[in-house]
Amino acid sequence: MWLTSKIKQVLMVIKPGVVTLKYPFEPHPVPEDFRGRPHWDHHKCVGCGACSNHCSARCILVRDVCQELRVMLYDGSRCTYCGRCAEVCPEDAITMSQEFELATGNKQDITERLELFMLTCQRCGRCYDMENTNMIERLDLRGYRYDSLETRSLIRKTTEHFDENVLKETEKYQRPTKL
Amino acid sequence: MLSNLAKKFFGRSLWVYHCNSGSCNGCDIEILNVLTPYYDVERFGIKLVASPRHADVMLISGGVTRPTLHLARKAYEAMPEPKLVFGIGSCATGGGSWFDTYNISGGAEKSVPVNYFIPGCPPRPEAIIYGVALALGLVDKKAAPVELKQMEFPIDMYERNKAWEERNVIYELLKD
């Protein structure tokens, strides 16, 4: 009796075959709607900062180094790949790629940096003043959890000319950390 | 260099200790998923152990919360040398969405030295296997920092000057 049951078991096991993936040696495709690492298209991006406002982990930082030049930084270390940035982007500049093999020993490997030229006002020749006067919107724009100016997640102060001091000061704005 | 060292020191089976430091269980489920026959990491000799004293590798998931901060460090110190630490998930890598809240120390790096980060919320089981395979030197690293630049100014200077001549539009800076 025990032999027949064993044979039965073997037959049952043979039927499905080997299910184990040969993953690290053979690629395993992701599902179609998979959201991997987001990618920016710097030809399409207008630098509106909507992605930065909507990022739930606040990992997209906007840094204005001078008039007409804006640096957008994406810090992938705390990105939750929710895809909200791609959803709100008015120019469809952000696409969620299918990259998921992001294991690394250095956090800087999963960052992205974008340098953009900003358009200026036709009247005054300066960039649009993004500082809102409405207090509620101001809460939304700046990283309201930060008490000090230095660690705000979003800095939208511009100078009229390229200022090295501002560049030096904003150097530490890149990765807000806990106080 | 790190993978060569890992090959030298961890030539045989890796025994893995899973440390949950305030994770939401998403990453924990993915780690369990890795051990199932479908992904079967026992091919590489990876085995889950219950005690850090038996382990070579610590898989730390979750942004380390304040109550678990010293416990995670204690578990790390209980592991025998040489040891590797994997930060699994966005929380362990950089603190996740809660990186600056009062109760989260902002990533596993704040409590224990982390060798490899596996971002994702939660990371796919393949991503975890990829990370372990990267540490063992079986695959190449694919992640690299991206820098993009707009090389040309969107408004042509010629057009700007023409507009000035034709429509008399002010483009110069106003002096305050």
* Domain presence at residue B142: no
Whether residue B19 has pLDDT greater than 60: yes
Give a yes or no: residue A71 inside a domain.
Answer: yes
Phi/psi of residue B163, nearest 5 degrees: -65, -35
Containing structural domain, residue B48: 2-136
Interface touch A20/B94, C-beta < 8 Å = no
What is the pTM (predicted TM-score) of this model? 0.74
Determine whether the interchain pair A19/B170 forms a contact, defined as Cβ–Cβ distance below 8 Å: no
- Residue window 115-174, chain A: list those with CB within 8 Å of chain B: 115-117, 119-120, 122-126, 145-146, 160
B132-166 in b/e form (b: 16+ CB < 10 A) is bbbbbeebeeebeebebebeeeeeeeeeeeeeeee
Is there a domain that residue B162 lies in?
no
Q: Does the pLDDT at position A147 exceed 70?
A: no
d(CA A137, CA A140): 5
- Number of domains into which chain A is organized: 1
> Across all residues in chain A, what is the average pLDDT?
74
- Give residue A124's Cα distance to chain centre: 33
B146 interaction partners in chain A (CB closer than 8 Å): 39, 111-113
If we measure between CA atoms, which residue out of B67, B78, B87 comes closest to residue B22? B67
Determine, yes or no, domain membership for B157: no
For every residue of chain B, DSSP letters joined together read: -HHHHHHHHT-S--EEEEEESS--SHHHHHHHHHTSTTT-GGGGT-EEES-GGG-SEEEEESPPBTTTHHHHHHHHHHSPSS-EEEEEHHHHHH-GGGTTSTTB-SSGGGTS--SEEE-SSSPPHHHHHHHHHHHHTSS------EEEE--S-SS-HHHHHHHHHHH----SPPP-
| B104 and B63 Cβ atoms separated by less than 8 Å | yes
Whether B166 is in a domain gets the answer no
User: A 77-116 residues with CB below 8 A of B?
Assistant: 77-82, 99-105, 107-116
pLDDT of res. A155 = 46
Q: Is residue B59 part of a domain?
A: yes
Q: Could you list the residue range(s) of the whole structural domain that residue A75 is in?
A: 33-160
3-state secondary structure of A163: coil
Does A15 map to a domain? Answer: no
Q: Distance (Å) from the C-alpha of residue A126 to the closest C-alpha of chain B?
A: 7
**Structural domains in chain B (count):** 1
pLDDT at B3 over 90: no
Give the length of chain B.
Answer: 176
Nearest CA in chain A to B90: A78
User: What ipTM does the predicted assembly reach?
Assistant: 0.72
Q: What count of residues does chain A have?
A: 179
CATH code, A153? 3.30.70.20
A66 touches chain B (CB under 8 A): no
Is A117 in contact with B37 (Cβ distance < 8 A)? no
At position A16, the amino acid (one-letter code) is P
Asked whether residue A64 is assigned to any structural domain, the reply reads yes
Say yes or no for a CB contact (<8 Å) between B173 and A123.
no
Chain B residues in contact with A17 by the CB 8 A cut-off are none
- Tally of CB atoms within 10 A around A94: 23
Residues facing A61 on adjacent strands: A73
Rounded distance, CA A67 to CA A163, Å?
A: 9
Residue A73 above 80 pLDDT? yes
Which residues of chain A lie closer than 8 angstroms to B144, CB-CB? 109
Q: How many CB atoms lie within 10 A of CB B54?
A: 14
- Name which of A76, A115, A119 is nearest B155 (Cβ-Cβ): A119
Does residue B147 form part of some domain?
A: no
A 16-55 → B contacts, CB under 8 A: 19-21, 23-25, 28, 30, 39-40, 42-43
Lowest mean pLDDT among A13-22, A109-118, A170-179: A170-179
A49 three-state secondary structure: coil
Contact across the interface for A80 and B145, Cβ inside 8 Å = no
* Mean pLDDT within A86-113: 88
CATH (domain of B38): 3.40.50.12280
Beta strand pairing call for A38-40 and A94-96: antiparallel
Phi-psi group of A138: left, alpha or beta (phi > 0 → left; psi -120 to 50 → alpha; rest → beta):
alpha
B156 within domain boundaries: no
Residue A132 belongs to a domain: yes
In a domain, B123, yes or no: yes
Please state which of the ranges A80-89, A111-120, B24-33, B91-100 shows the lowest mean pLDDT: A111-120
